Structure 1
Amino acid sequence: MARPALRADAVLVQAVIAGALSFAHLHDLAAAAGQSGWKAWAYPVSVDLLLVAAWHRLRSGGSKPAAWCWFVVSLTASLGANVATAGLLDLGDVPAWLRILVAGWPAVAFLGGTLLAHGTRAQAPMPSPEPVPADNSAPGASDPAPELSTASVPASVPAPVPPALVALARKVADEHRARTGTAIDTSTLRARLGVPLPLAEAITAHHLT
């Protein structure tokens, strides 16, 4: 179990080293472009924060094109500083166009950070409402009754009423009579079976009398 922990620590150390090097390169480039003191240290913080904000927006949802745009902008600024300080640019004689880019970066970073912070986030789709079954009043249009044995049901049961439903209705009626001493009424039968009122009336009239 110790090996995964060591790997995680190694990745963390590598990330810290890479971040520190990139941070130093951005600071050196900003200082060479005329940004002295605390301002030179603020530039790498600004670039890294914009990079992290864009990556977070890509992972959490929202406007993907805008997030990718600011991710590329901040990544270009970071990579550009790394390349510029690798000996390809004379930091003692920084060109004017680079000074302009460095001086204009705070406005660009402020705009990107504001748009990422207040941009529209993706919303989860609302679940579609479940269809409500129609309460058809025609005989035989109700939900199918529980599957019961129909061995004791006579073959002369009318077709509109399922034999299993008749058997269940008779069982419910017998239990009601045994408990109350009276015949079951149509409303009680309908509530016990969960069928439309016309079907309960048909069962009461033709099969329970």
Structure 2
Amino acid sequence: MRAHLARVDAVLVQAVIAAALSFAHLHDVASASGQDGWKAWAYPISVDLLLVAAWRRLRSGEAKAAGWCWFLIALAASLGANVATAGLLDLDHVPAWLRILVAGWPAVAFLGGTLLVHSSPASHNETSDPVDGETSEDIGDQEGEPDSVREAPGPPAVEPVPAPSSVAVPAALVEHARKVAAEHHTRTGMAIDTPTLRARLGVPPPMADAIAAQLT
């Protein structure tokens, strides 16, 4: 337990030191570019918050393209400030292009944060729900088939065999399964097997066995 806490403390201390150094470098670049007072301190906060927001979007698995885009932009801003303070840039004579980039950063960060907060995948309500117990796979199969195939008569109906007492099968589901079996027989010329029936109906194996028993 103590070894685990020691590792966590070491990681935490390292993270705090790295964050403080990066924060100071961003402040120095902003201050050298003409952003005085509180504005110079606001720049590193803005960069770090955009970096965290983009990383959270990537972890959530939603809108990964936008997450990667703004993550790389924030990372470039942070990394560029750290490299610039390594003696490669004269902070007493900051070039005009860097002043322009620093001055335009608030608008870029505001746009990125707004897009990351409000962008989300299409909701489930935008897709049509199956009707009468049909799965989306069944509807897709029926829409892609000619009317002659869908309306062709199936095999002769047989008297249903009672389902096992441990599985209750609704009558509407049995009737729908009979239609699925008839369509499969018309399309393939063979009786539908239990695994295919289970896949078409989207039911668990025990219920599929009970339904198949009523179709034989």
Deviation at 1:7, TM superposition (A): 0.5
Deviation at 1:78, TM superposition (A): 0.1
What is the Cα-based RMSD across aligned positions, in Å?
2.7
Q: Compared with structure 1, are the counterparts of its residues 17 and 7 closer, same or farther at alpha carbon in structure 2 (3 Å cutoff)?
A: same
Q: Does 4-13 or 71-80 show the bigger shift?
A: 4-13
Question: Which protein is bigger by CA-based radius of gyration?
Answer: 1
Deviation at 1:8, TM superposition (A): 0.8
1:11 equivalent in structure 2: 11
Runs of 5+ consecutive residues of structure 2 not aligned to the other structure: 136-155, 166-216
Q: What is the distance in 2 between the residues matched to 1:2 and 1:142?
A: 66
Say if 2:158 is the partner of 1:138. yes
Runs of 5+ consecutive residues of structure 1 not aligned to the other structure: 147-209
One-letter code of the match for 2:66? A
Deviation at 1:121, TM superposition (A): 4.2
1:107 equivalent in structure 2: 107
Q: What is the distance in 2 between the residues matched to 1:25 and 1:112?
A: 22
Write the deviation string for residues 140-187 of structure 1: whole angstroms up to 9, x where unpaired: x324557xxxxxxxxxxxxxxxxxxxxxxxxxxxxxxxxxxxxxxxxx
Residue pairs, 1:93-104, within 5 angstroms: 93-104=93-104
SS in 1 for 2:113: helix
| Structure with greater helix share of residues | 2
Write the deviation string for residues 78-125 of structure 1: whole angstroms up to 9, x where unpaired: 000000000000000000000000000000000000000111147689
2:207 equivalent in structure 1: none
Q: TM-score, normalised by structure 2?
A: 0.60
Q: What is the distance in 2 between the residues matched to 1:17 and 1:123?
A: 42
Write the deviation string for residues 7-62 of structure 1: whole angstroms up to 9, x where unpaired: 01111111000000000000000000000000000000000000000000000121
1:76 equivalent in structure 2: 76
Q: Compared with structure 1, are the counterparts of its residues 13 and 142 closer, same or farther at alpha carbon in structure 2 (3 Å cutoff)?
A: same
Q: What is the distance in 1 between the residues matched to 2:79 and 2:164?
A: 71
2:85 equivalent in structure 1: 85
Percent of counterpart pairs with the same letter? Answer: 67
Q: What is the distance in 2 between the residues matched to 1:11 and 1:122?
A: 38
